[in-house]
Chains A and B, each alone.
Chain A
Amino acid sequence: MTIGSPDSTVGIEEHPASAEPVRGSAVPHGKSPTRVAVDRLRKDRVAVVCAGVVLFFILVAVLAPLLTKIEGSDISTFHPEFVDEYGFPTFAANAQHWFGVEPKTGRDNFARWVYGARPSLVIAFVATLSGTIVGVVMGLLAGFLGGWVDRVISWLVDFVLSLPYLLFAIAMVPIVESMRGGSFNLSPEEQASTRFFVLIFVLSFFGWAGLARIIRGEVLSLREREFVLAAKAIGVPTRQVLFKELLPNLVAPIVISASLALPAYVTAEAGLSFLGVGLIEPVPSWGQTIATATNWFKADPLYLWLPVLGITALVLALALLGDAVRDAFDPKTRR
């Protein structure tokens, strides 16, 4: 087991990399598990394709304003001239509206699709990041310090895991709205953004506990190891032991849990928006679009299939990538 980053000079000789194939003489020393994993990932074709898909969606989300500009439309302009008196679009797609228009309102489908990628990705990434940070810190503290800190944090973890997540997501919205000055003083945009942040908060709040529990377990086994005991014995401050000695050994479980959390959060956002407790108009989101489009699936299939395709591709890519990451980090995987 290595300690620290590959170029660190500490303990190279005593710690030959365990899962490492025999290296050529040109390689001066062992690779870290992270490096090993990245190398493995690079060779994994599924992982590379999935990473490409994820990158594509990230680019779509980032470049949404540019893309809509190229198409020449925006997300909010109503185009009643493109729907008939029953609300059905009068055409499937054309040069100005690549994916057609929304029934009833005539808003541009393409613009709403590319902008719809944004909340999904932003919410998933931010929630994963904050959930992971909190989970790791809590797990490290609980596992390493033990005693009452451990008991308090473990109790907290159990408590959070026992809370009803869906009810929480629904109940948070009015509470936060009243904290922001009451629904009377909020514009529709502010109300929609409240929902956005509430979603991020709820997802990260319920995401950290599971990870904290895993990290705590890992730390419990690690803290009795010689290198930790040695660090403690020579008087390394606790903070340094936690983040310099223990954390590098936890990269694998952290990366795995994060890569599995991402697709779960994308689905959760879409699911909550579909049920009407997630994002609301005027923020475009795939979940909402699917909820509306199911009523029109016979007349306007494109309207439904685009967001469905978006979510499916993104979640599938993230999930397969997560799997590949886990395999790559797992020393027991043989290829």
Chain B
Amino acid sequence: MQWKRITAVTATVMLAAVACGSPSSNSGKDGANAGDAGTAQEKATDATAKGPAPELDGAKKGGTVSILADVSPDTLDPTNIYFTDTNQIGKLMYRALTQYRLDGDSHKPVLVPDLAEDLGTKSADGLTWTFKLKKDIKYMDGTPVKAADYAYAIKRSFAHDLYDAGPVYQDEYFKDGKTYKGPYGPNGANYSGVETPDDNTLVIHLAKKFDDLPYYAAFPMFTPIPQAKDTKKSYDLKPMTTGPYQVDSYTPGAELKLKKNEHWDPNTDPVRYQYPDAFDFKFGQDTLKVQRQVLASNGPDANALNYSDLDSSLVPEVKDQSQLVTGPQPCTTVWGLDTRKIPMEVRQLIAKAYPFDTYRKVAGLTPKSAIPASTIMPPAVPGYEKYELPGLVGTGKGAEDPAVASEVKAKLKELGKENFELSWYYANDDKIATQVTQLRTQVYTSAGFKVKAIGVAKAKLRTFRNDPAAPVNIGQGPSGWCSDWPSGASWFPVLFRSDAVELSNSIGMLQDKTLDAELNRVNGLTADEQLKEWPKVDKMIMEKYLPLIPLYYSASNYPVGKNLGHVINDPTQGLPEFTSIFLKQP
């Protein structure tokens, strides 16, 4: 899953208050316990979970929760949702076949049936999955949900020319996934991958075994969509919702207002609640401004939250630690090295020279939101095994140490790669990005490399990075990855198989037949066997290919208003779990 998209927001923080006489060095140390990368999530399932979800202590009905987001989602179309924040917003509106229930104090995610009666039954050969569907489910306008609507939603997900941002596992695993192009073409109605033998059964045919399908079925992509109401690209303005809330008004990029869906039946839903009367999302806000507002919790701001990590400059302003929600995120941030353009020996030297310590400070990473990483998979992914390769532990001075710099320089000379050119894109209108680039340039120049950093506008950065043919050799593709579901299968095949290069998902642009074969072999194993194999693959990739430098595992650390109750971190996405929030004083 990709990270919530960061859109350009010019810093226009006002000189609102006058500096008080506090000393310049900080007071952020109190209560500074390192962030929590979490422990491995087990693949827990509960196929018998039934609604309604148990009442929460002290929960009250009513009021409006406002969510002040500094990012602006591109789309709320269920088929096109792939970012963690839209996924979480989608959970309020769209019910899918399955869903995660967060159990206990550690909020352990457990996969439970949502609109399906169970978690699906697979055939003996593993290529046919049958989902029994719940009866008497209604859309927000009162019309009944039909099995055909589920099938239509799946067909719709193949129309990548219209929905280019959504997840694409169906292409690989579903029957005819590589050839079927969605329901809109001349032959669109005929797709043999889904069947609806009766009105509460959905059958999915696969091209190859996909034991994680019930997890995949938790994506909003699997929410029912009635064909008659499909308005294609503008569907997200007035989507047919099955969850506890429906769209009241939506101005893309600016505001989303949700109101209650009266036809949502809590008795069918084991996960969601419907405490507040409405949700009001405001997008594209100024990060520092809204975080300060939320922390101050004056008037309506007490009912607000922001889901970006608290800016380090605001640490001294946190008076009440309970206003910070912390928890693990299943994400790792990395610095990709193009294996096609940089030889292995040079990649090792780049990793050796990386100035982790200074990078963390310059980039504003705090111990609470960024835990030094040494592996590709973060600890939150099942099967994670910690290993540390020398120099790749997420901390250290790298070539800022003159001894290391001269050592790297000498080795480059030995290899005949003096002044090896490193090039990457960065956002030249983002101050942090330019400072990080300055740091990297200084350090790598001192270590004998030649650096060419190409500044582009922040708004265009993603387009440039996603071009596999870009004329740079560092940092293409995603700059980090989050689990799509708790398994290495949503990491390694997606990121490191040859076909990932074409899909702009590749980190390191690996196109290696041996690695492809190994990834396919592990991917074909049973879930339990995979659990043991993925960490080995993790280590093998880092030792043998080094397609990336792991920088940090991210952890949640976001500010919430004082009047919000039961704001918990959803460890499957690293965001607040919106559906269980209530107002203490509505």
Q: A276 touching B11 by the CB < 8 A rule?
A: yes
Q: B316 touching A281 by the CB < 8 A rule?
A: no
CB distance from B581 to the nearest CB of A (A): 28
Q: Which residues of A contact B367 (CB under 8 A)?
A: 85-86
From A76, A85, A184, A187, name the one whose CB has the most chain B CB atoms within 10 angstroms: A85
Q: Which residues of B contact A83 (CB under 8 A)?
A: 361
Interface size class, chain B: 35 or more
Q: Mark B4-32, 1 if CB is under 8 A from A, else 0.
A: 00000011111101111111111111001
Q: A76 touching B11 by the CB < 8 A rule?
A: no
A87 touches B (CB below 8 Å):
yes
State in angstroms the CA–CA spacing of A188 and B428 once bound together: 8
State in angstroms the CA–CA spacing of A109 and B336 once bound together: 33
Decide: A86 near B10, CB < 8 A? Known: A188-B428, A188-B434, A295-B313.
no
Identity of the chain B residue whose Cβ is nearest the Cβ of A107 in the assembled complex: B435
Q: B362 touching A80 by the CB < 8 A rule?
A: yes
From B17, B24, B28, B431, name the one whose CB has the most chain A CB atoms within 10 angstroms: B24
Q: A86 touching B23 by the CB < 8 A rule?
A: no
Q: B19 touching A89 by the CB < 8 A rule?
A: no
State in angstroms the CA–CA spacing of A317 and B456 once bound together: 38
From B19, B366, B367, name the one whose CB has the most chain A CB atoms within 10 angstroms: B19
Q: Which residues of A contact B211 (CB under 8 A)?
A: none
Interface-facing stretch out of A6-14, A237-245, A296-304? A296-304
Identity of the chain A residue whose Cβ is nearest the Cβ of B454 in the assembled complex: A184
State in angstroms the CA–CA spacing of A80 and B22 once bound together: 22
B442 touches A (CB below 8 Å):
yes
Q: A86 touching B455 by the CB < 8 A rule?
A: no
B99 touches A (CB below 8 Å):
no
B317 touches A (CB below 8 Å):
yes
The listed residue (A104, A276, A291, A297) touching B361 by CB distance below 8 A is A104
Q: B455 touching A100 by the CB < 8 A rule?
A: no
State in angstroms the CA–CA spacing of A303 and B19 once bound together: 11
CB distance from B523 to the nearest CB of A (A): 38
Q: Which residues of A contact B28 (CB under 8 A)?
A: 84, 86, 88
Q: Mark A165-202, 1 if CB is under 8 A from B, else 0.
A: 00000000000000000011011100100000000000
State in angstroms the CA–CA spacing of A184 and B10 once bound together: 23
State in angstroms the CA–CA spacing of A296 and B11 once bound together: 13
B374 touches A (CB below 8 Å):
no
Decide: A89 near B25, CB < 8 A? Known: A80-B362, A280-B429.
yes
Q: Which residues of A contact B288 (CB under 8 A)?
A: 295
From B26, B441, B442, name the one whose CB has the most chain A CB atoms within 10 angstroms: B26
Q: Which residues of B contact A80 (CB under 8 A)?
A: 357-358, 361-362, 400
The listed residue (A76, A87, A276, A299) touching B429 by CB distance below 8 A is A276
Q: A86 touching B366 by the CB < 8 A rule?
A: yes
Q: B439 touching A78 by the CB < 8 A rule?
A: yes
Q: Which residues of A contact B357 (CB under 8 A)?
A: 80
A149 touches B (CB below 8 Å):
no
CB distance from B459 to the nearest CB of A (A): 12
From A76, A77, A275, A294, name the one whose CB has the most chain B CB atoms within 10 angstroms: A294
Q: Mark A267-303, 1 if CB is under 8 A from B, else 0.
A: 0000000011000111000001001101111111111
Decide: A296 near B361, CB < 8 A? Known: A187-B453, A282-B434.
no
Q: A85 touching B366 by the CB < 8 A rule?
A: yes
CB distance from B361 to the nearest CB of A (A): 5
State in angstroms the CA–CA spacing of A103 and B435 once bound together: 12
Q: B19 touching A78 by the CB < 8 A rule?
A: no
A106 touches B (CB below 8 Å):
yes
Q: A303 touching B24 by the CB < 8 A rule?
A: yes
Q: Which residues of B contact A76 (CB under 8 A)?
A: 438, 442
State in angstroms the CA–CA spacing of A183 and B464 once bound together: 12
Q: Which residues of B contact A295 (CB under 8 A)?
A: 11, 13, 288, 311, 313-314
Q: A281 touching B435 by the CB < 8 A rule?
A: yes
Q: B438 touching A282 by the CB < 8 A rule?
A: yes
The listed residue (B19, B400, B429) touching A297 by CB distance below 8 A is B19
Q: B317 touching A275 by the CB < 8 A rule?
A: no
CB distance from B72 to the nearest CB of A (A): 18
Q: Mark A81-105, 1 if CB is under 8 A from B, else 0.
A: 0011111111110000000100111
Q: Which residues of B contact A84 (CB under 8 A)?
A: 25-26, 28-29
CB distance from B451 to the nearest CB of A (A): 9
B-contacting residues, A185-244, CB 8 Å? 186-188, 191
State in angstroms the CA–CA spacing of A188 and B429 once bound together: 11
Interface size class, chain A: 35 or more
Q: Which residues of B contact A297 (CB under 8 A)?
A: 15, 17-19
Decide: A90 near B25, CB < 8 A? Known: A78-B439, A191-B428, A294-B13.
yes
Identity of the chain A residue whose Cβ is nearest the Cβ of B443 in the assembled complex: A78
State in angstroms the CA–CA spacing of A29 and B32 once bound together: 80
A305 touches B (CB below 8 Å):
yes
From B23, B442, B471, name the one whose CB has the most chain A CB atoms within 10 angstroms: B23
B196 touches A (CB below 8 Å):
no
Q: B364 touching A87 by the CB < 8 A rule?
A: yes
Q: Which residues of B contact A191 (CB under 8 A)?
A: 428, 455
The listed residue (B17, B315, B364, B434) touching A104 by CB distance below 8 A is B364
B419 touches A (CB below 8 Å):
no
B360 touches A (CB below 8 Å):
yes
B130 touches A (CB below 8 Å):
no
Q: A92 touching B24 by the CB < 8 A rule?
A: yes
The listed residue (A91, A106, A183, A298) touching B19 by CB distance below 8 A is A298
Q: Which residues of B contact A281 (CB under 8 A)?
A: 431, 434-435, 438
B437 touches A (CB below 8 Å):
yes
Q: Which residues of A contact B438 (CB under 8 A)?
A: 76, 78, 188, 281-282
Q: Which residues of B contact A282 (CB under 8 A)?
A: 434, 438
Identity of the chain A residue whose Cβ is nearest the Cβ of B17 in the assembled complex: A297
The listed residue (A77, A85, A296, A302) touching B360 by CB distance below 8 A is A85
State in angstroms the CA–CA spacing of A183 and B10 once bound together: 21
Q: A88 touching B429 by the CB < 8 A rule?
A: no
Q: Mark B431-461, 1 if CB is under 8 A from A, else 0.
A: 1001101110110000000001111100000
A-contacting residues, B58-99, CB 8 Å? none
State in angstroms the CA–CA spacing of A288 and B437 once bound together: 17
B45 touches A (CB below 8 Å):
no
State in angstroms the CA–CA spacing of A298 and B357 once bound together: 25
Q: Which residues of B contact A292 (CB under 8 A)?
A: 11, 431
Q: B362 touching A78 by the CB < 8 A rule?
A: yes
The listed residue (B20, B362, B454) touching A298 by CB distance below 8 A is B20
Q: Which residues of B contact A183 (CB under 8 A)?
A: 428, 454-456
State in angstroms the CA–CA spacing of A292 and B432 once bound together: 10
State in angstroms the CA–CA spacing of A191 and B453 once bound together: 11
Q: Which residues of A contact B10 (CB under 8 A)?
A: 275-276
Sample 18 A-B pairs with CB under 8 A, ordered by A number: A76-B442, A77-B442, A87-B313, A88-B24, A90-B25, A91-B25, A92-B23, A105-B435, A188-B453, A276-B10, A281-B438, A282-B434, A288-B431, A295-B311, A298-B317, A299-B26, A301-B24, A304-B19
User: Which residues of A are in contact with B by a Cβ distance under 8 Å?
Assistant: 76-78, 80, 83-92, 100, 103-106, 183-184, 186-188, 191, 275-276, 280-282, 288, 291-292, 294-305
Known: A78-B438, A186-B454. 19 other contacts (CB 8 A): A77-B442, A84-B25, A105-B439, A188-B437, A188-B438, A191-B455, A276-B10, A291-B11, A295-B313, A295-B314, A297-B18, A298-B20, A298-B316, A298-B317, A299-B22, A299-B24, A301-B19, A304-B19, A305-B19
Across chains A and B, which 3 residue pairs bring their CB atoms closest together, nearest first? A88-B26, A301-B19, A80-B358
